[in-house]
Structure 1
């Protein structure tokens, strides 16, 4: 009888241990079942794109305090602008290139964005973080991979891509279309996935164009006024010295 009871206890203990081990091993997979996603999933080389990254909130009661999105190091993107997102404050980190790359607002740029870090503002509710980057021109590559570091309020860091075991969001790049108009990443004027420009009325890019036109007009006006003034002064300077022609 004693031997039977001991055998039963060993079996129950082994079953409990196996269940506990399975629970511990399965916890990361269930806790981080959702992935960081990005929309759109494809774009064209040489154009601009506006990408929205959705970072899941998978730990109830423990909000995400910070999200860092790292741009591909081997395929630099000349211009990257974080779009305004309620409850989040962006911070841009840059790096210097050995060889400049063509931009949208400049023919050559040697300083590009290496990462954008969003910090959650106090009083912001929990839930997935939806963060948007406007970027371009897209490089001559087949695919871009964006490493994401998610930091929770208790200090836990979840890494998507890179050395982490969770997949990073990617963007597939189609060959560039030589007949397509040049995309404009701007500060909110990037075209959507299909190439149609996204609405950005009154944005900084539009204001910049208006300012350029205004400055050109002012320079033209000032230049014209200077020429007219110079001609008048010469005419007045010659008038006393030259006799008047009656026929004139």
Structure 2
């Protein structure tokens, strides 16, 4: 196998790796800045358009009623109309500090304004909210509905069961920083529950192994030619 052939094989394997890894990375995800338990922080949602023909024209984020968040300021984005919806709780609740809460922020929605194309195919955008007080819990789940220009709605609302497979449309989950720890670093999305292996790991391992085999065959061919 000549040098040119080896380069072609390597390029092919690399392209295959990227193609296989892309679906795993194309989920709606959330990350946080200063998102401490019981505090106020900024939650940023990364929204990719997976469709090859339709644009993302709507994003609806649902906030939890069991841990009501009473203050939310949504990001103002050019080309988008944002709506913050309040709801009254069926019965007043005590927040984590013992204060009585009767209403909360139920959802935040962005819709592409008339004349705006939204998020075009194969592109992504980010949407942020400043929210608090955040639950005094290790994480918060934020089901999100993504609407496309062709009318399709993708509900990112599935959760992982212990020992079960990774869901196709996982709900964005944000890990909250414990009070008193270093909250200056962005908080990553929580790993799947129950210790489930992320869906991209077996694929990546398989592709890396394939790449190693191809290089080994190429080196063996070179060694035999020199011999």
Residues 42, 74 of structure 1: alpha-carbon distance in 2 compared, 3 angstrom cutoff = farther
Residues 54, 134 of structure 1: alpha-carbon distance in 2 compared, 3 angstrom cutoff = same
User: How far 1:60 moved relative to its partner?
Assistant: 2.7
TM-score when normalising by structure 1: 0.53
1:166 to 169, 178, 181: 169
User: How far 1:55 moved relative to its partner?
Assistant: 1.0
3-state DSSP class of the match of 1:149? strand
Distance 1:89 1:32 in 2: 29
Match for residue 68 of structure 2? Answer: 76
What is the 5 A alignment of 1:1-248?
34-40=26-32, 43-97=35-89, 98-101=91-94, 108-125=100-117, 126=120, 127-162=123-158, 165-177=168-180, 193-194=183-184
Number of residues of Structure 1 aligned to a counterpart in Structure 2: 153
Match for residue 163 of structure 2? Answer: none
Residues 101, 83 of structure 1: alpha-carbon distance in 2 compared, 3 angstrom cutoff = farther
Root-mean-square deviation (Å) = 3.2
Distance 2:94 2:147 in 1: 32
Distance 1:39 1:94 in 2: 23
For each residue in 1:155-198, what CA deviation from the matched residue of structure 2 results, as whole angstroms up to 9, or x when unmatched? 11101124874111111123323xx9xxxxxxxxxxxx518xxx
Q: Is the 8 A contact 2:38 2:134 kept in 1?
A: yes
User: How far 1:31 moved relative to its partner?
Assistant: 6.7
Structure 2, unpaired ranges of 5+:
1-20, 160-166, 186-227
For each residue in 1:8-39, what CA deviation from the matched residue of structure 2 results, as whole angstroms up to 9, or x when unmatched? xxxxxxxxxxxxxxxxxxxxx98786111212
Q: Is the 8 A contact 2:35 2:43 kept in 1?
A: no
Distance 1:33 1:136 in 2: 28
Distance 1:145 1:39 in 2: 12
Match for residue 208 of structure 1? Answer: none
User: How far 1:52 moved relative to its partner?
Assistant: 1.1
More off after superposition, 157-166 vs 47-56? 157-166
For each residue in 1:206-240, what CA deviation from the matched residue of structure 2 results, as whole angstroms up to 9, or x when unmatched? xxxxxxxxxxxxxxxxxxxxxxxxxxxxxxxxxxx
TM-score when normalising by structure 2: 0.58
For each residue in 1:88-107, what CA deviation from the matched residue of structure 2 results, as whole angstroms up to 9, or x when unmatched? 1111222212224559xxx6
Residues 33, 51 of structure 1: alpha-carbon distance in 2 compared, 3 angstrom cutoff = closer
Q: Is the 8 A contact 1:89 1:119 kept in 2?
A: yes
